[in-house]
């Protein structure tokens, strides 16, 4: 008879050596929140580190994303008949796949302002888990460390989920020129068919 798997915090199997994520939330509201990928038994083998820090979030950004992540994860945990959880001061253990999804949200929001954070949260919530896993995979391959904020896919996540930045000067002008071109007659003079 096999023993049922016990879980800690957000669905992390409560077994030594499990690959999971840790979210370190300090007691002081002025200190940053750290998201760390812990490789468990795989760590320290074949060139893999014991763990790798994936994101460092200022407290205001963490506060902006924590609730949507908690709700999303708890909905999925309940559906899998795993106890729900909440974020608490100290170390929070997160299932490996949920941790990847959390990194995508954190990376998209890490440089965002308050308005952008709310847009990022709603767009992230609209993504399917498989889409978030894919985004994690392509991002972590080239820009998965805290100092990689403005690089490659990391920057792309912010632009895609925040609705990007305002268009550069001249973009409206170019659209107006294109519109004028499409209004020109294809044949003959613009004054009319009779040339007057």
What is the per-residue pLDDT across 64-87, written as a single tens digit (0 to 9) for each? 999 999 999 999 999 999 999 999
pLDDT for residue 18: 87
- How distant, in Å, are the alpha carbons of 42, 173, 180, 196 from that of 50? 8, 53, 60, 80
Q: Is residue 101 part of a domain?
A: yes
What is the distance between the alpha carbons of residues 160 and 139, in angstroms, rounded to a whole number?
13
Q: Is residue 194 part of a domain?
A: no
Q: Is residue 1 part of a domain?
A: no
Q: Is residue 3 part of a domain?
A: no
pLDDT for residue 15: 82
Is the pLDDT at 5 greater than 80? The verdict is: no
Where does the pLDDT of residue 165 fall: very low under 50, low under 70, confident under 90, or very high at 90 and above? Answer: low
Q: Is residue 195 part of a domain?
A: no
Is the pLDDT at 192 greater than 70? The verdict is: no
What is the distance between the alpha carbons of residues 108 and 182, in angstroms, rounded to a whole number?
38
Q: Is residue 190 part of a domain?
A: no
User: Which of 47-51, 56-60, 170-174: highest mean pLDDT?
Assistant: 56-60
Q: Please count the structural domains in the chain.
A: 1
Backbone Cα Rg of the chain: 23
Residues 89-125 as b/e (b if ≥16 CB within 10 A, e otherwise) read eeebbbbbbbbbbbbbbbbbbbebeeebbbebbeebe
Q: What range defines the domain where residue 95 resides?
A: 8-182
Mean pLDDT of 114-119: 94
């Amino acid at each position: 008879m096999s023993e049922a798997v016990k879980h800690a915090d957000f669905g992390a199997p409560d077994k030594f050596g499990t690959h999971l994520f840790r979210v370190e939330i300090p007691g002081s509201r002025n200190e940053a929140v750290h998201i760390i990928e812990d490789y468990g038994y795989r760590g320290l083998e074949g060139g893999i580190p014991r763990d790798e820090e994936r994101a460092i979030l200022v407290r205001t950004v963490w506060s902006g994303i924590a609730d949507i992540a908690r709700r999303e994860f708890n909905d999925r945990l309940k559906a899998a008949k795993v106890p729900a959880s909440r974020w608490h001061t100290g170390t929070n253990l997160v299932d490996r796949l949920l941790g990847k999804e959390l990194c995508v949200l954190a990376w998209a929001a890490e440089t965002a302002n308050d308005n952008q954070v709310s847009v990022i949260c709603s767009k992230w919530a609209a993504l399917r888990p498989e889409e978030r896993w894919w985004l994690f995979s392509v991002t972590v391959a080239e820009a998965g460390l805290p100092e990689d904020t403005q690089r490659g896919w990391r920057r792309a996540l912010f632009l895609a989920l925040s609705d990007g930045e305002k268009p550069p000067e001249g973009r409206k002008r170019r659209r107006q020129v294109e519109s004028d071109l499409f209004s020109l007659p294809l044949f003959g003079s613009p004054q009319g068919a009779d040339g007057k």
